[in-house]
């Protein structure tokens, strides 16, 4: 079924020096506190991260819920902000493909797809034998997902002790961590161009379309970077 050795190896990868555990923990701690403040109970906060596990989407959900948005509006808002998961999945799952592995592993473990787990997998997949990459991935995903759930619960419990300044301080951890991690992954001109152009075009497109800016900026920057790569080959 699942190779426990590779699963555990993936699970333990969050203990490394460049682990996303701190950033992930801080972000979901803040989400747990936010959910309590908008009226979610303990179980609802737990299941929000358990079933969704996507920080920007959960933020959109919380904000939409606060203003009384309809379910369709929430669905579209969350889908738009989480649409990044589609290209992330396409750029990772082909690396995990193996005809001896059952499909359920791929469709179950795609729930673990998040920036943190994706960046770890993209960094480490070459060191893992092709037959067991999916098991390694399930280990990484289970670890990051567990951290997120635990932190949400912790945030819910300690929310009364978190001051406004502390909440603001926690909110910057995630973008700083992932921005540094993205800068660290710029190992060739194509990825470098993708990251630099994406960083510039995301806010630029916000001025044109706040709802679609991430998709417009990401796709435009990605296509240009791809063409730069093709031109250089």
Residues 11-40 that bind other proteins (CB under 8 A): 17-20, 22-23, 26, 30, 34, 39-40
Residues numbered 81 to 140 that lie near other proteins (CB under 8 A) are: 82-95, 97, 106-107, 110-111, 113, 115, 118
- What minimum distance in Å lies between the beta carbon of 93 and other proteins? 4
- What minimum distance in Å lies between the beta carbon of 74 and other proteins? 5
Q: Which CB sits closer to other proteins, 8 or 89?
A: 89
* 54 part of the interface to other proteins, by CB under 8 A: yes
Question: Got the DSSP string for the chain?
Answer: ---HHHHHHHHHGGGSTT-SHHHHHHHHHHHHHHHHHTT--HHHHHHHHHHT--HHHHHHHHHHHHTT--HHHHHHHHHHHTTTHHHHHHTTHHHH--TTS-HHHHHHHGGG--HHHHHHHHHHGGGS-GGGHHHHHHHHHHHHHHHHHHHHHHHHHHGGG--HHHHHHHHHHHHHHHHHHHHHT--SHHHHHHHHHHHHHHHHHHTT-TTTHHHHHHHHHHHHHHHHHHHH-
Residues numbered 156 to 215 that lie near other proteins (CB under 8 A) are: 164-185, 190-191, 193-203, 205-206, 210, 213-215
Q: Which CB sits closer to other proteins, 4 or 148?
A: 148
- What minimum distance in Å lies between the beta carbon of 86 and other proteins? 4
Q: Which CB sits closer to other proteins, 7 or 225?
A: 225
């Amino acid at each position: 079924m699942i190779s426990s050795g590779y699963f555990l190896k993936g699970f333990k990868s969050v203990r490394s020096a460049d682990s996303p555990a701190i950033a992930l923990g801080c972000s979901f701690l803040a989400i747990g506190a936010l959910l309590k403040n908008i009226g979610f109970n303990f179980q609802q906060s737990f299941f929000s991260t358990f079933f969704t596990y996507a920080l920007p989407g959960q933020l959109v959900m919380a904000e939409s819920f606060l203003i009384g948005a309809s379910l369709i509006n929430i669905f579209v808002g969350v889908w738009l902000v989480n649409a990044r998961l589609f290209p992330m999945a396409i750029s990772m799952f082909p690396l995990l493909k193996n005809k001896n592995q059952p499909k359920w592993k791929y469709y179950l473990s795609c729930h673990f797809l998040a920036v943190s787990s994706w960046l770890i997998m993209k960094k480490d997949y070459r060191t893992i034998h092709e037959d067991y990459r999916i098991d390694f991935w399930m280990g990484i995903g289970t670890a990051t997902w567990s951290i997120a759930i635990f932190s949400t619960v912790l945030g819910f419990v300690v929310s009364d002790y978190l001051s406004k300044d502390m909440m603001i301080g926690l909110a910057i951890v995630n973008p700083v961590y992932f921005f540094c991690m993205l800068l660290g992954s710029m190992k060739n001109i194509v990825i470098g161009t993708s990251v630099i152009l994406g960083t510039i075009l995301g806010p630029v497109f916000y001025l044109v379309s706040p709802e679609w800016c991430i998709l417009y900026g990401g796709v435009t920057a990605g296509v240009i970077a791809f063409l730069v790569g093709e031109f250089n080959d």
